[in-house]
Structure 1
């Protein structure tokens, strides 16, 4: 009988972060499935929860081309979750915002994903959770704050 030596070996940083991201993605996928949303649709709603955003900004952040972005927004609009409007600053640009139904869904889903991700850290002490948050913020600093969607209204 052989033992799996790799299973006994501590994770290195890369493996730990990748496996943690898989765990979070699994929680997001499960929640999205409960609301018939893909992860990319959930990301769209998450970006819009505290701002209106232009189609170009959304496409840049989500890594989508124009036609894919148009389809994504169109499907969310058909479900009554978002609306499109002309930008007051540039008549050629389109701004996307949440509808009241989209806002309610985003708030419910946000609260639920908060509970699920918090449950992932329940074995940590409050000090360890604070340190994890601090370290994640350090890793994200400069990547998130400079993204087009990060500018608050």
Structure 2
């Protein structure tokens, strides 16, 4: 059985341990039904990935293809940079870009700095689909938080921004 360090916590912590983000002994207890940081973020990730999967499928895309379009909305990275950002190996990245290129969503161009490298950018159709997908996903993700108060949504946004900023790859 794998040790706890390599397995995400999706159940109660071991007795005598405390999950980061949970109160120390003697502190006020979390609100009833509090999932804790690991389970809460994991389940939130499942909700968001579900939304992204729906939006992608409605446009005949995979979630990774939708992410590719999102990454390319405001930059023209090289293949290696894209592969790092999307967590793909070279051959998977090549296949992903090939499929998007065949659909007319992206184009490749030689890098002006390195003749061996290529830069990837969105075509006009790719930009349109990226904008539409981002708007749809944004609307649906905001709907997930519709039952929260304005202050709760602002705090959630601030905390999510801080988490992402602490781990940004691009």
CA drift at 1:65: 1.1
Query: Could you say which residue in structure 2 is the equivalent of 1:35?
Result: 59
Within 2, Cα distance between the matches of 1:45 and 1:69? 13
Moved more, 55-64 or 9-18: 9-18
Match of 1:72 among 89, 92, 96: 96
1:1-153 correspondence runs (5 A): 9-144=33-168, 147=169, 150=170
Q: Unaligned stretches of 5+ in structure 1?
A: 1-5
Report which structure shows greater RCO (CA 8 Å, sep ≥6): 1
Greater gyration radius: 2
* Off by >6 Å, runs of 4+ in structure 1: none
SS of the aligned residue for 1:88 comes to coil
SS in 1 for 2:166: coil
Give me the CA root mean square deviation: 1.4
CA distance in 1 between partners of 2:84 and 2:71 (Å): 12
Inter-partner Cα distance in structure 1 for 2:74 and 2:42: 28
Q: Flag the structure with higher helix content.
A: 1
1-structure distance, mates of 2:122, 2:165:
27
How far apart are the structure 2 equivalents of 1:31 and 1:9?
A: 30
The TM-score normalised by the length of structure 1 is 0.88
Q: Secondary structure at the match of 1:118?
A: helix
SS in 1 for 2:114: coil
Unpaired runs of 5+ in structure 2? Answer: 1-11, 13-31
Q: For residues 40 and 111 of structure 1, what CA distance do their matches in structure 2 show?
A: 17
